[in-house]
Amino acid sequence: GAGVSQTPSNKVTEKGKYVELRCDPISGHTALYWYRQSLGQGPEFLIYFQGTGAADDSGLPNDRFFAVRPEGSVSTLKIQRTERGDSAVYLCASSLTGTSGRANTGELFFGEGSRLTVL
Amino acid sequence: AQSVAQPEDQVNVAEGNPLTVKCTYSVSGNPYLFWYVQYPNRGLQFLLKYITGDNLVKGSYGFEAEFNKSQTSFHLKKPSALVSDSALYFCAVRPTDSWGKLQFGAGTQVVVTP
């Protein structure tokens, strides 16, 4: 597709369950980012990938959160033993490159997000 | 540590009037500053950025922003607001030591009335 695609758009789960959120970036974008947006707040950085590897995962709140990007394209954010506090909109973004330099315009292209509700 | 502050939760303006959305930042080194806009049920969209050079940056949809180093500000402006500009606006700063980690402000809701 032309833009960043995220599935599911909405996910309702029960406390303690496992959840996977998927992101399909713009074709050719080597950098992929996950952010979390709680109600009334700005997006909060979670992790970003340059290719297949996590270049910075300092924003992951705890070890219940994990993300992969095995082939350098699609990424999956995995949340184990979900808690009510995990309820938020999870945003994915991609960019041409995640490194500094001329090729990086600095612009991130965001998907519409996956709204996670933990009951 | 870097941070971004958007002091106004909401800005109300009449259509045709000038619009200003305020942003101040704190970052070590030279700042990379951005504005994004979020329309209802839509993803965040890039508006403009400041990396270096001219302090007045022009972006999409007639928006511009002025970088002021002495006041550590990066206010977003539009000379004549449209009803369709009603949306949630986010200022963001990127640290020079972590290219992927945009630090966003809390956002400012802009309401433009006809």
Find the mean pLDDT for residues B2-16. Answer: 95
Least confident of A59-63, A108-112, B26-30, B90-94: B26-30
Nearest by CB to A42, which of B45, B96, B104?
B104
pLDDT at A103: 47
Compute the average pLDDT of residues A78-102: 86
- The model's pLDDT over B53-104, given as tens digits with 9 standing for 90+, comes to 889 999 989 999 999 999 999 999 999 999 999 999 999 998 777 767 889 9
Does the pLDDT value for residue A93 go beyond 80? yes
- Residue A73: DSSP 8-state: S
Q: How confident is the model at residue B52 (pLDDT cuts 50, 70, 90)?
A: confident
The per-residue pLDDT for B90 is 97
Nearest to A93 by CA among A39, A54, A36, A19: A36
B92 to chain A nearest CA, in Å? 9
Q: Provide the mean pLDDT of chain B.
A: 92
Residue among B92, B96, B100 whose CB faces A55 most closely: B100
Model pLDDT for residues A40-76, shown as the tens digit of each residue: 899 999 999 988 999 889 999 999 999 999 998 999 9
Helix (H) or strand (E) holding A116: strand A114-118
Do residues A18 and A78 make contact, with C-beta atoms less than 8 angstroms apart?
yes
SS (H, E, C) B99-111: CCCCEECCCEEEE
Interval A26-44: pLDDT, tens: 998 989 999 999 988 999 9
**What's residue A102's pLDDT?**
45
Distance of alpha carbon A37 from the chain centroid: 11
Choose the mutation target among A47, A107, A112, A115 for the interface with B, i.e. most B CBs under 10 Å. A107
- A113: tokens are 């997000």
Average pLDDT over residues B15-33: 91
- CA pair distance B43, B4, nearest whole angstrom: 21
Beta strands in chain B (DSSP E): 3-5, 10-14, 19-21, 24-26, 32-38, 44-50, 56-58, 64-68, 73-78, 87-94, 103-104, 108-113
User: Which of B101, B41, B73 has the alpha carbon at shortest distance from A43?
Assistant: B101
Radius of gyration of the CA atoms of chain B, in A: 13
Query: Residue A98: what pLDDT?
Result: 54
Whether chain A has a CB inside 8 Å of the CB on B97: the answer is: no
Percent of chain B, pLDDT > 70?
Answer: 96
pLDDT at A82 over 60: yes
Q: Given A45, A104, A113, which is nearest B43 (Cβ)?
A: A113
Average confidence (pLDDT) over A3-10: 96
Q: Which of B4, B27, B35 is nearest to B98 (CA)?
A: B27
pLDDT: which is higher, B41 or B109: B109
Say which residue, B50 or B108, is predicted with more confidence.
B108
Is any Cβ of chain B less than 8 angstroms from the Cβ of A59?
yes
